[in-house]
Amino acid sequence: MTALHLQQLLDKWKIQLKQVNRQMYPDTNKIEKHTAALSQANALLQKEIKNRKQAEEQIQFQASILSRVNDAVIAIDSHNRITYWNKAAERLYEYKAEEVLGRSLEEVNHYRWLEAEDEQTAYTALATRGIWQGENIHRKKNGEEIYVESSVSILTDDNGVSNGFLAVVRDITERKQAEQQCQLLLTQEQVAHAEAKVAKNQIFNILERIADGFLALDCEWRFTYVNQQAAQILHRTQEQLIGKNVWEEFPDAIALSFYREYHRAVAQQVTVEFEEFYPSLNTWFEVHAYPTPEGLSVYFQDITKRKQTEQKISQQADLLNIATDAILVCNLKNQILFWNKGAEHLYGWQATEVLGKNANQLLYKEISPQLEEAVLAVIEHGSWQGELNQILKDSKNIIVQSRWTLVRDRTGHPQSILIVNTDITEKKQLEAQFFRAQRLESLGTLASGIAHDFNNILTPILIVTQLLSHKCLALNEEDRQLLKTVEDSSKRGATLVKQILSFAQGSEGDRVHLQVRHLLKEIEQILKSTFPKSIEININRLMENLWTIWANATQLHQVLLNLCVNARDAMPNGGTLSLSAENVIVNENDARMNLDAKVGSFVAISISDTGCGISPEIQERIFDPFFTTKEKSKGTGLGLSTVLGIVKNHGGFVKVYSQLGKGSQFKVYLPASDTQIKQEAADIKMPRGNGELILIVDDEEHIREATKTALENYNYKILTASDALEAFSIFTQRRDDIKLVLMDIQMPLMDGRNAACILQKINPSVKIIAISGILRNQKLLEASDIGVKVFLSKPYMIQELLHTIKRVLNAS
């Protein structure tokens, strides 16, 4: 009951009392008496009110304190209903006071005991002492469990009768978790400690038994521990070493890696590893040294035997590396185990790149039947030999002569395959050329035989027709014409036979010292008067100092005319026919590249057209007698075979370069005659390079590689690219090193003109020599404004190339 209530009650009483007085005590005396008694009572009441007010303030003060404490304070009445729930309780359980007040404790607060017996302990404590303190687990509104420390006391009324509980609860979850963590660490540490103790004993036991040496040195470089094996390797006893200074005991080690590396390990606190030979013990050591708080632990092995084996292997490998053949060893899963220098050289792969790789994937485009046969044969018979098509690192195709031998282990089980490969690509190409030459020769023999018989047949026909026309004077005009046809046809037949014979036998004829210049002039006359005007004839006038040749003028006429007529036929819609001549020295490298060429000095006459060109498939066959692509009435197919016959007879050779749709060039090489000139030629020095780096761009692998080899022989450094894109990538990387670019003008992906343009953008001062099969064609002329210094026509001879390169490099 509050003070206000009391006051109201009191006032009510006063009014009621007055009414009672009026009714009960009408006389005034009595009233006064009662009034005195009442004021006494009133004073008592006022005192009571003051006391109560004080008590109430006290309660409010206490309540405000309780609401501020950090521990949750909860009061429960005798019916187990929550009667008090302070702010800390709200925070702890996340229930607001208004949510829980009046509800039973079980509804709100779920709890668990830490240990099963804790519950009994708590009840006993409350029953006997009226208070329990302990830890248990409570659940929050959101279901989360927390560790709490509670203090629960029984509340009693003035008579000491229990009327509820007061609980003060504190969240100790964090502390509990920390304790648990701590406990865990403690246990782990104990375990680790125990284990370390065991391990230490074990380590020493092991160290004594291992086959490797182990020793420990202190900070003064004294031996503090040496295992039995170490002592044995060092040729001492353990007792002899313990306590001794390592450098005093092994003074030779000071000059060796031991001293340097041990000091490095200690100074830099790093592990060091090294191999070293210790001469006075005649032993190779493999050493691992680790810094320790006490000094240094050294673990070492005697690797003398291994070193000796390695040396032996390396000596053998050196021998294998001297071999120019590619030598490789593969296991039965095709993994490469050995790869000599020859293989590096041939395939372009370094040993480090290929060891462990699959040889089939590396060296073959596809698994060919020969390869399968090789594998089967080597497993079955122990060896195999044959030819294989392989690919190089740069994807180039090669043919190798391959010899396989099965290597077995000691027990006779197949272990690996030893393969020796010889590159026979060039040999194969020469072989093909040789077969062609042979085919031509046999065809020639055959043709000359037929021609001979044919001549015998034609001769009587010719004689008879001539005789008849004289004898039968009475013949009418029509019959006379018929006879004339027979005679003309026979004459044509006879000319043809003569041609066959000159191709097949190459009739000697009269030879004279001949100036090619004169020859070309005469031909020019004929061409200009007989060829259609749509064909522009272009004779290169810059032919001073041409060497003379020893030749039959008529036959050479025939050669040039045949070639010019072919050129004309290739340009039915007109074009340019160019003739030129130059002195050329053919060296061994040139001769090696093609079977027909011979070493010496030559005058080369070139006949180029801008006609239809010759497809690669038929280029092989154009020199075959009777090979023609022309209509029956237009060509016999003997033109080129005659040309070849005559030129060979003169000790020369013919080269062709042609591109379909663009044109063809025939180059006739005739040996220079004059001995003086030959001397002069021999004196002409092949200009050598000074190691300048040259980039060769050509899509034809054969030409690219041959040019590379030739230029390398003359002291140039060479990079090659097979198309414009590759050329750009190389050129961008080596822009400043590349002194010159040799560029084929006709390439499939991007033509050389555009390529030259781009190169010039990358480096405006780039020097480019453009190479083309078609002499000075329109395109080349167009190219003149894009940094192309000089044009060179294919097929070029090395001398010509070297001179041109020198000229371009020297030009500033």
Q: Enumerate binding residues for Mg ion (CB under 5 A).
A: 566, 639
Q: How far apart are CA 110 and CA 114, in angstroms?
A: 13
Between 240 and 636, CB nearer to Mg ion: 636
Question: CB under 6 A: which stretch of 116-124, 330-338, 560-568, 573-581 binds ligand ATP?
Answer: 560-568
- Of ligand ATP, Mg ion, none, which one does residue 628 interact with (CB within 5 to 8 Å by kind)? ligand ATP
Report residue 151 as tokens.
């203090």
- Of ligand ATP, Mg ion, none, which one does residue 636 interact with (CB within 5 to 8 Å by kind)? ligand ATP
Between 291 and 639, CB nearer to Mg ion: 639
Each residue 241-280 as x (binds ligand ATP by CB under 6 A) or -, in order, gives: ----------------------------------------
785 in Cβ contact with 750 (< 8 Å) = no
Total binding residues for ligand ATP by CB under 6 A? 21
Q: How far apart are CA 604 and CA 640, in angstroms?
A: 17
Between 565 and 757, CB nearer to Mg ion: 565
Each residue 747-786 as x (binds ligand ATP by CB under 6 A) or -, in order, gives: ----------------------------------------
Shortest Cβ contact with ligand ATP: which residue? 639
Report residue 790 as tokens.
């000089």
Between 567 and 805, CB nearer to ligand ATP: 567
Residue recorded with tokens 């003008």: 745
Whole-number minimum distance, CB 644 to ligand ATP, in Å? 9
Whole-number minimum distance, CB 618 to ligand ATP, in Å? 6
Dihedral over Cα of 339, 341, 343, 344: its sign: positive
H or E element in which residue 14 lies: helix 3-24
Between 386 and 635, CB nearer to ligand ATP: 635
Q: How far apart are CA 149 and CA 161, in angstroms?
A: 27
Each residue 569-588 as x (binds ligand ATP by CB under 6 A) or -, in order, gives: -x------------------
* Residue partners of 119: CB distance under 8 A and separation at least 6: 113
- Of ligand ATP, Mg ion, none, which one does residue 622 interact with (CB within 5 to 8 Å by kind)? ligand ATP
Between 229 and 642, CB nearer to ligand ATP: 642
Each residue 602-641 as x (binds ligand ATP by CB under 6 A) or -, in order, gives: -------x-xx-x-------x----xxxx----xxxxxxx
| Backbone phi and psi for residue 721, each to the nearest 5 degrees, phi listed first | -140, 140
Report residue 806 as tokens.
């020198």
Q: How far are the Cα atoms of 437, 499, 516, 630, 722 from residue 503, in angstroms, in the given order?
A: 14, 6, 21, 20, 39
Between 297 and 562, CB nearer to ligand ATP: 562
| Backbone phi and psi for residue 765, each to the nearest 5 degrees, phi listed first | -95, 15
Whole-number minimum distance, CB 596 to ligand ATP, in Å? 17
Between 289 and 614, CB nearer to Mg ion: 614
Q: Decide if residue 326 touches ligand ATP (CB under 6 A).
A: no
Whole-number minimum distance, CB 384 to Mg ion, in Å? 49
Whole-number minimum distance, CB 614 to ligand ATP, in Å? 5
509 in Cβ contact with 552 (< 8 Å) = yes
- Helix then strand count (H, E) for the chain reads 29, 28
- Of ligand ATP, Mg ion, none, which one does residue 766 interact with (CB within 5 to 8 Å by kind)? none
CA angle 349/355/359 to nearest 5° reads 75
Between 611 and 795, CB nearer to ligand ATP: 611
Whole-number minimum distance, CB 628 to ligand ATP, in Å? 3
Between 639 and 671, CB nearer to Mg ion: 639
Whole-number minimum distance, CB 655 to ligand ATP, in Å? 13
Cis ω for the linkage preceding 795 (within 30 of 0): yes
Between 622 and 786, CB nearer to ligand ATP: 622
Q: How far apart are CA 237 and CA 483, in angstroms?
A: 125
Whole-number minimum distance, CB 568 to ligand ATP, in Å? 8
Between 566 and 804, CB nearer to Mg ion: 566
Whole-number minimum distance, CB 632 to ligand ATP, in Å? 10
H or E element in which residue 494 lies: helix 477-504
| Crossing angle for the helix pair 553-570 and 639-649, to the nearest 10 degrees | 150
End-to-end distance of the chain based on CA atoms, in angstroms?
Answer: 121
- Of ligand ATP, Mg ion, none, which one does residue 611 interact with (CB within 5 to 8 Å by kind)? ligand ATP
Which burial class, exposed, middle or buried, applies to 778 when counting CB atoms under 10 A from its CB (0-12, 13-18, 19+)?
exposed
Whole-number minimum distance, CB 422 to ligand ATP, in Å? 37
Whole-number minimum distance, CB 560 to ligand ATP, in Å? 12
- Of ligand ATP, Mg ion, none, which one does residue 213 interact with (CB within 5 to 8 Å by kind)? none
Which burial class, exposed, middle or buried, applies to 317 when counting CB atoms under 10 A from its CB (0-12, 13-18, 19+)?
middle
Q: How far apart are CA 272 and CA 283, in angstroms?
A: 19
- Of ligand ATP, Mg ion, none, which one does residue 614 interact with (CB within 5 to 8 Å by kind)? ligand ATP
Whole-number minimum distance, CB 756 to Mg ion, in Å? 35
Which burial class, exposed, middle or buried, applies to 652 when counting CB atoms under 10 A from its CB (0-12, 13-18, 19+)?
buried
- Of ligand ATP, Mg ion, none, which one does residue 458 interact with (CB within 5 to 8 Å by kind)? none
Whole-number minimum distance, CB 635 to Mg ion, in Å? 6
Rg for the chain (alpha carbons), in Å? 58
Dihedral over Cα of 42, 48, 51, 57: its sign: negative
- Of Mg ion, ligand ATP, none, which one does residue 664 interact with (CB within 5 to 8 Å by kind)? ligand ATP
Whole-number minimum distance, CB 498 to ligand ATP, in Å? 13
Q: How far apart are CA 87 and CA 70, in angstroms?
A: 8
In this structure, how many other beta carbons lie within 10 angstroms of the beta carbon of residue 755?
Answer: 27
Q: Of 181, 100, 113, whose CA–CA distance to 145 is shortest?
A: 113
Between 566 and 707, CB nearer to Mg ion: 566
Q: Of 646, 575, 654, whose CA–CA distance to 619 is shortest?
A: 654
Between 527 and 585, CB nearer to Mg ion: 527
* Residue partners of 34: CB distance under 8 A and separation at least 6: 21, 25
| Backbone phi and psi for residue 533, each to the nearest 5 degrees, phi listed first | -70, -20
Q: How far are the Cα atoms of 235, 652, 670, 678 from residue 674, in angstroms, in the given order?
A: 85, 15, 12, 6
Between 130 and 637, CB nearer to ligand ATP: 637
Whole-number minimum distance, CB 429 to ligand ATP, in Å? 22
Between 662 and 704, CB nearer to ligand ATP: 662
User: How do beta strands 717-721 and 693-697 pair?
Assistant: parallel
- Of Mg ion, ligand ATP, none, which one does residue 469 interact with (CB within 5 to 8 Å by kind)? none
Shortest Cβ contact with Mg ion: which residue? 639
* Residue partners of 306: CB distance under 8 A and separation at least 6: 284
Between 109 and 566, CB nearer to Mg ion: 566
Interacting residues toward ligand ATP by CB under 6 A: 562, 566-567, 570, 609, 611-612, 614, 622, 627-630, 635-641, 664
